[in-house]
């Protein structure tokens, strides 16, 4: 009977000393590669792992998602469980509407803040220079994505203006304006960047009914 008790204690001791191991998986969205150090099939509890992302030409590292949410690169992990990571590469989108544009017979200036080189919200103002020398300033909100920009322009006492455009390059946007249910085809060319070759529209902002 004593031998049986000793043997049972030995089995329990082995189970208590077994090491727990975890796996790490990485999925890539966009175009780029990554390197894991150390590269293993399984990792011990508490082991430190470093993942370094490298974007392909024309792309940039954006962030890590999944079991982490950060834009640190390289990424340092402490393995305390199975981990699934998504590596995001995005196309940087740096054109901004800020500056002077033509396409509307009224000169137009945009003062726009864009918070990211990736898909980004935008805020700022649009200034229309009227033929009588006065100005109308609209507040602008919207977003700037790869190839597409949408701006919602608002001014008290006037109908809202929405501009939807597609970037041909950093100096040309092909698009249209909408105001009070009326649509205008309106390409915009950054002044001083290229000869204007689009259709210039005659545009006079419409006042709201009852406004001064």
2: in domain: no
Query: Do 64 and 112 share a domain, yes or no?
Result: no
136: in domain: yes
Q: Quick one: tokens of 46?
A: 């508490």
124-145 per-position pLDDT tens digit: 999 999 888 899 999 999 998 8
Query: Do 57 and 119 share a domain, yes or no?
Result: no
Average pLDDT, the chain: 86
8: in domain: no
Q: Which candidate, 197, 173, 199, places its Cα nearest to that of 185?
A: 199
Q: How far is residue 172's CA from residue 187's CA, in Å, rounded to a whole number? A: 7
The residue segments making up the domain with residue 156 are 99-190
At residue 18, does pLDDT exceed 50? no
What pLDDT is recorded for position 211? 57
Query: Do 49 and 81 share a domain, yes or no?
Result: yes
Query: Do 129 and 56 share a domain, yes or no?
Result: no
52-84 per-position pLDDT tens digit: 999 998 889 999 999 999 999 999 999 999 999
CB atoms within 10 A of CB 163: 24
Q: Which of 3-7, 15-19, 157-161, 164-168 has the lowest mean pLDDT?
A: 3-7
Q: For 43-104, where are the alpha helices, taking DSSP H only?
A: none
Query: Do 67 and 137 share a domain, yes or no?
Result: no
Query: Do 64 and 114 share a domain, yes or no?
Result: no
Query: Do 58 and 105 share a domain, yes or no?
Result: no
CB atoms within 10 A of CB 50: 12
Is the Cβ–Cβ distance between 121 and 115 less than 8 Å? yes
First CA to last CA distance, the chain: 104
Q: Which candidate, 175, 154, 207, places its Cα nearest to that of 101?
A: 175
Domain end call among 90, 107, 128: 90
Is the Cβ–Cβ distance between 30 and 59 less than 8 Å? yes
What pLDDT is recorded for position 8? 42
Is the Cβ–Cβ distance between 29 and 57 less than 8 Å? no
180: in domain: yes
Q: Which candidate, 98, 198, 188, places its Cα nearest to that of 144?
A: 98
What pLDDT is recorded for position 88? 92
Report the CATH number at residue 29.
2.10.70
Domains contained in the chain, number: 2
Query: Do 129 and 167 share a domain, yes or no?
Result: yes
Q: How far is residue 40's CA from residue 33's CA, in Å, rounded to a whole number? A: 17
Query: Do 106 and 176 share a domain, yes or no?
Result: yes
- If one compares 209 and 162, the residue with the highest pLDDT of the two is 162
3: in domain: no
Q: Which candidate, 178, 121, 168, 162, places its Cα nearest to that of 145?
A: 121
167: in domain: yes
120: in domain: yes
Report the CATH number at residue 136.
2.40.128.120
170: in domain: yes
Q: Quick one: tokens of 29?
A: 């969205």
């Amino acid at each position: 009977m004593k031998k049986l008790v000793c043997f049972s204690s030995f089995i329990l001791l082995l189970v208590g000393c077994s090491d727990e191991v975890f796996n790490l998986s990485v999925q890539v969205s966009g175009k780029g590669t990554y390197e894991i150090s150390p590269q293993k099939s399984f990792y011990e509890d508490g082991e430190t792992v470093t993942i370094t992302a490298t974007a392909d030409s024309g792309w940039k590292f954006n962030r890590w998602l999944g079991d982490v949410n950060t834009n640190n690169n390289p990424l340092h992990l402490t393995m305390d469980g199975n981990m699934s990571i998504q590596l995001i590469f995005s196309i940087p989108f740096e054109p901004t509407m800020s500056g002077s544009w033509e396409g509307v017979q009224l000169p137009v200036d945009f003062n726009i803040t864009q918070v990211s080189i990736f898909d980004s919200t935008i805020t700022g103002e649009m200034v229309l220079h009227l033929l009588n020398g006065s100005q109308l300033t609209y507040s602008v909100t919207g977003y700037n994505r790869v190839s597409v920009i949408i701006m919602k322009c608002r001014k008290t006492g006037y109908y809202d203006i929405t501009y939807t455009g597609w970037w041909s390059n950093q100096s040309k946007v092909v698009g249209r304006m909408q105001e009070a249910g009326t649509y205008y085809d309106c390409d915009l060319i950054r002044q001083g960047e290229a000869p204007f070759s689009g259709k210039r529209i005659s545009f006079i902002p419409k006042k709201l009914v009852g406004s001064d």
